[in-house]
Structure 1
Amino acid sequence: MKNKFFLPLLLISLITMQIWFLYVAFHYEYYGVELKRNSQHEWRISSFQSESIRLKLGLQVGDMIVKVNDNDPDKNALFKKWAMLTQLDTITVSRNGFEFQVPLIDKAQSSFDYISLFGEILCFFISFLIFLKIPNSRSARFLSLVFLITGTIFMCIAPSARSDSMAKVMISSLLIILPLVFLHFLILFFKEKNAIQLPSRFLYYLYSIAVVTFIVRLSYLTPLDTYSLYLIDYFFVLLFFLFGLLLNIGMFLYVYFKYRRDNSSIQAIIKIVWFALFISCSPLVFLSFYPILLNDRPLLEPLYTGFFIIFFPISFSYLIVTKQLYDINLILRRILYTTLLSLFQALL
């Protein structure tokens, strides 16, 4: 009964978000121009994500934005919240005492929009495959949720880059909860497959933190000036994600070294998942998150390093197909056998 109402509600929510996010992604241009508000409440360009964008717009680091759509920047809610040049028609720039207007009307589509769409489709497919084909495993439910969350993160990338407030709320909240759900999956998986008992009570405290921060983050959907809160939250999300990642690594190391001599299958699975985790997360962590925390600037933007996450669902697809994680083929054979047996009995 619970699933009867939950699944349709989930599908309706995902479809609704998908329609809106696709509209935002393909209706508004992404320029990759970052701004900061200084102590004099001046909005100045702090960086460009590519030199081609800078040349295309004719802007420079240090340029002051004095008007957006011919109005005060602080009167534009999205600009004031996210400090990004998006969902705008024109900006007025002041440089060395001279003011000039820059039109923002080019609608060229970024390649990462299509890459994120591919990652989303792949993750959703794996999520629903696991959910439908392995209905009686609690760990499989959590693994399905991991891919559902990852797919939703991919869904949010393009609209978040275009200052969509809902996408900002979703992507920040899901980045916090993703490593926790994956850790929860690992605990349940090792318990189901090898009767390995691992502590899990602490996860509920971490889930509580995720819920509280999500509630606070809902203020992004209001007209309030949340720019300062967003800057704090941005670093909090990075730190919490890295903390969750370290918890997963610690769990892997603990299980591997404690049980590697007792179970060779566990050893093989951990090696593959460990490799997938490293390939998927190391570019994001070492080229984006750590440099941001240390120097306030990434070596490579998270928009690009984040796409390495696609390797993670691909590796899990391999584990599932090769029956090292869940034997879906066995389940399908059982379904076929039960169906044929029922038909045979009906004929008799």
Structure 2
Amino acid sequence: MILQNLLQNKKYAIANLAFIITWVIYFTATFYHPYIGIDLEKEEEQWKVVKVDPQGKGYKLGIQKGDIIVKVNQLNPDQFPAVKKWREIEGARQLEIQIPGQASRIVEVPRVFFVKNLFYEAPYALLSLGFWVTGFITLVRRQYTSQVQALFWFSWLVAIAIVLASASSRHLLWGRELGAIVYSFIPVMLLNLIAVFPYERRTLIFRYTYRLFAVIPILTIMLLYSRYAITISSFLLVALIVSSITALGHLIISISKLSKNSPERKQTATILTGLIIGLLPFIILTAAPTILWGDPIVNPRFSIMFVLFIPLTLSYVFIKKYLPAGELVLFELSIFLLAAIIAGVILSSLMFLNDLTNDPRLARIVFSQALIAILIFSSVKVGIGYLFNKLSFMNKEDNNPNKEEVQSLKLLRIINRALFLDIEEEKKRIARELHDGPLQLGMELNRRIKHKCEGEKNGVCEELKELADELNYQLRYLCSELRPATLSDLGLVPAVEVLCQELMERNLIEISLSIKFISREQRFSEELEITAYRFIQEGLNNVIRHSKSKIAKVEISIKENCLIILIQDYGKGFDNELISQWALQGERLGIVGMKERIARIGGDLKIKAQPGKGVILTATIPID
């Protein structure tokens, strides 16, 4: 149903159809047009070769730097469109080449073999599909939120840019012009994406930076139709590097401002890790060397594959609630990168000190290979360590089959005992004492720190402010968990509205709340309100933790002097017969606890579940 609704949205349907058509047309066209990879420069009325790409046909045909191009397709180079505008000879079928001091020779550019070119273009084709599929699947699973929309359009734009890259290098079907325009939007879309992940935070400086980068597409179009069109590639590379550094800096600043234990800090650290993995190899090995020396260190087809980590990481952060320790991953990654850079510098220096080579390009290759080797080694080491730990954990479970059952029975006894105690009153008392005591002291402490540190800018004051804010945040959170103030002050319906809103903000789940035959101001007995609220809270938490459903429905109504509460999800569900088994084994204690809590006040809980079709919980609680 979600996919059907998505395809009915004209905006997304047109975008996806445009990508598929572009992908088929341009990649099919590249299979029949060879990439020559020759750059020219006019010197003394002669067009000389100034750059030869080792991946192109020109290099394989023996064309070298310094050769003179006399004719292109039997035309003077000045008359050939690609030479005239871009100083390249893409699209040529025949070249007349002269080595200085020798007679000219005719070189025929052979057509490429379809299968061979298919393997050559496979990395770009798969990478573009990877970006598009990642954005599309995330949009299907988490529909119509600003974060998902930003991720989809960023992934879609990068996928289109990758498709046009091969056509751009061959000057096919306006590929160079369209590719430049599409690439010019990537820095803007990257900043727009970072601005809303994991939550929207557009500072004044960020807004001005965003507007500055928004001018890049306009400048690109102006350059395309000017005599400076040849500088577009370098201009766009610089813009991409600056926007990437801006995005990384923005995330680093955000981490420093977030509370240490907040989920947003963990999400931001995970996103930052994905950006570093995705962008640094491309910047270090391709973009920066191209700007500084004119040639990348490694084939761009290798370094650009890392960019796929960006949408994958963002998609994972958005879809998954429980994330790995992002800060720990970021710390380990920083160590790996530092070790790789140091090793590369040492190896390159040893080569020069021992006169092994005087070729700077070879030294750069050694540096990059050392960096890549250490990163691969580190990744494999982490992966193997994880597998060994997993296998070790499984073996321990096999060797102690009764340990889990004993622990589950102990936990079940504790919960069963707690269910028959009046713990809510104790929670209320503790929450009141926390609010009237420690929380008030924390607020006063925060006020005094800000007053004393007013006008002072030093590390100690900032650290004290951060600690005071964190203390107040944790105390408010504890008070809310123990006894929601909205429930005591305003009643069941406002408390449930606040609960649903908070869960949607924290977990990006769509919750539909329906209230029938009850006014917002209507109050019930304290025990009934507490029981109903805890039931809804536990039910929605189960949806988030276990069902993996992206949509939940809550309905509260009154019928025949009973409060009827329905919670429905559309997730993976389960077999109804497992409920009694869970009670015995101490599993899924939340459902067992809900049934006993509702039964304690004379109510009834019905559970209707089916694998793959979600769960419906219906609680009937007498009002009297």
Q: Aligning the two structures, in what range does the TM-score lie when normalised by the shorter sequence?
A: 0.7 to 0.9
1:22 equivalent to 2:13? Answer: no
Give the equivalent residue in structure 2 for 1:126.
134
Q: 2:277 is matched by which residue type in structure 1?
A: I
Q: Which moved more, 1:94-103 or 1:266-275?
A: 266-275
CA contact (8 A) 2:184 2:220 kept: no
Give the equivalent residue in structure 2 for 1:345.
none
Q: 2:245 is matched by which residue type in structure 1?
A: L
After superposition, give the CA deviation of every residue in 1:101-139 in whole Å (9 maximum; x if it has no partner): 111113044444111110111111112222333233112
Give the equivalent residue in structure 2 for 1:151.
159
Question: Which residue among 187, 202, 208 is the counterpart of 2:208?
Answer: 202
1:97 equivalent to 2:102? Answer: yes
TM-superposed CA distance for 1:207, in Å, is 5.0
1:84 equivalent to 2:88? Answer: yes
TM-superposed CA distance for 1:262, in Å, is 5.1
Question: Would the alpha carbon gap of residues 262 and 187 (structure 1) be closer, same or farther in structure 2, given more than 3 Å must change?
Answer: farther
Q: Distance in 1 between matches of 2:109 and 2:202?
A: 57
Give the equivalent residue in structure 2 for 1:247.
246
CA contact (8 A) 2:33 2:91 kept: yes
Which SS does the other structure have where 2:549 is aligned?
helix
1:257 equivalent to 2:256? Answer: yes
Question: Would the alpha carbon gap of residues 100 and 273 (structure 1) be closer, same or farther in structure 2, given more than 3 Å must change?
Answer: same
Alignment of 1:1-348 (within 5 A): 4-31=9-36, 33-50=37-54, 53=57, 56-95=60-99, 96-108=101-113, 109-110=116-117, 111-164=119-172, 166-191=174-199, 196=201, 198-199=203-204, 200-202=206-208, 205-206=211-212, 208-216=214-222, 219=225, 228-261=227-260, 263=262, 265-320=263-318, 322-323=320-321, 329-331=548-550, 336=570
Q: Which moved more, 1:37-46 or 1:145-154?
A: 37-46
TM-superposed CA distance for 1:277, in Å, is 1.5
After superposition, give the CA deviation of every residue in 1:66-121 in whole Å (9 maximum; x if it has no partner): 11111112222134333334322111101123111111113044444111110111
Which SS does the other structure have where 1:158 is aligned?
helix
Q: Distance in 2 between matches of 1:327 and 1:41?
A: 64
TM-score normalized with structure 1 length: 0.81
Q: 2:130 is matched by which residue type in structure 1?
A: L
After superposition, give the CA deviation of every residue in 1:12-39 in whole Å (9 maximum; x if it has no partner): 43344333312321110123x3322224
Q: Considering only aligned residues, what root-mean-square deviation do their CA atoms show, in Å?
A: 3.3
Q: Distance in 2 between matches of 1:28 and 1:127?
A: 30
TM-superposed CA distance for 1:280, in Å, is 1.6
Q: 1:247 is matched by which residue type in structure 2?
A: T
TM-superposed CA distance for 1:256, in Å, is 0.7
* Structure with the greater alpha carbon radius of gyration: 2
Instruction: Provide runs of 4+ in structure 1 moved above 4 Å.
Output: 51-55, 324-328, 332-335, 339-342
Q: Distance in 1 between matches of 2:245 and 2:190?
A: 12
Q: 2:208 is matched by which residue type in structure 1?
A: F
Q: Which moved more, 1:146-155 or 1:317-326?
A: 317-326
Q: Distance in 1 between matches of 2:161 and 2:55?
A: 27
After superposition, give the CA deviation of every residue in 1:244-303 in whole Å (9 maximum; x if it has no partner): 11110111111011114251x223222322222122211221122222322333323434
Q: Distance in 2 between matches of 1:206 and 1:98?
A: 53
Q: Distance in 2 between matches of 1:324 and 1:44?
A: 59
CA contact (8 A) 1:64 1:93 kept: yes
Quote the sequence identity (%).
Answer: 17
Q: Distance in 1 between matches of 2:307 and 2:111?
A: 30
Give the equivalent residue in structure 1 for 2:423.
none
TM-superposed CA distance for 1:215, in Å, is 3.0
CA contact (8 A) 1:42 1:65 kept: yes
Which SS does the other structure have where 1:152 is aligned?
helix
Question: Would the alpha carbon gap of residues 166 and 217 (structure 1) be closer, same or farther in structure 2, given more than 3 Å must change?
Answer: farther
TM-superposed CA distance for 1:174, in Å, is 3.2
User: Is there any run of 5+ residues in structure 2 with no aligned partner, and where?
Assistant: 1-7, 324-506, 510-547, 554-568, 572-612, 617-624
TM-score normalized with structure 2 length: 0.48
CA contact (8 A) 1:139 1:186 kept: no
TM-superposed CA distance for 1:218, in Å, is 5.3
Which SS does the other structure have where 1:29 is aligned?
coil
Q: 1:308 is matched by which residue type in structure 2?
A: F
User: Is there any run of 5+ residues in structure 1 with no aligned partner, and where?
Assistant: 220-225, 343-348
Q: Distance in 2 between matches of 1:24 and 1:181?
A: 28
Question: Would the alpha carbon gap of residues 256 and 290 (structure 1) be closer, same or farther in structure 2, given more than 3 Å must change?
Answer: same
Question: Would the alpha carbon gap of residues 153 and 130 (structure 1) be closer, same or farther in structure 2, given more than 3 Å must change?
Answer: same
Q: 1:28 is matched by which residue type in structure 2?
A: H
Q: Distance in 2 between matches of 1:234 and 1:197?
A: 29
Q: 1 or 2 for the larger relative contact order (CA 8 Å, sep ≥6)?
A: 1
Which SS does the other structure have where 1:7 is aligned?
helix
Question: Would the alpha carbon gap of residues 78 and 218 (structure 1) be closer, same or farther in structure 2, given more than 3 Å must change?
Answer: same
Which SS does the other structure have where 1:86 is aligned?
coil
TM-superposed CA distance for 1:43, in Å, is 2.2
Which SS does the other structure have where 2:111 is aligned?
coil
CA contact (8 A) 1:28 1:86 kept: no
Q: Distance in 1 between matches of 2:193 and 2:56?
A: 43
After superposition, give the CA deviation of every residue in 1:175-227 in whole Å (9 maximum; x if it has no partner): 332232222222223435xxx563453255235413312432553xxxxxx6x
Give the equivalent residue in structure 1 for 2:437.
none
* Number of residue pairs matched by the alignment: 330
Question: Would the alpha carbon gap of residues 55 and 181 (structure 1) be closer, same or farther in structure 2, given more than 3 Å must change?
Answer: closer
TM-superposed CA distance for 1:173, in Å, is 3.0
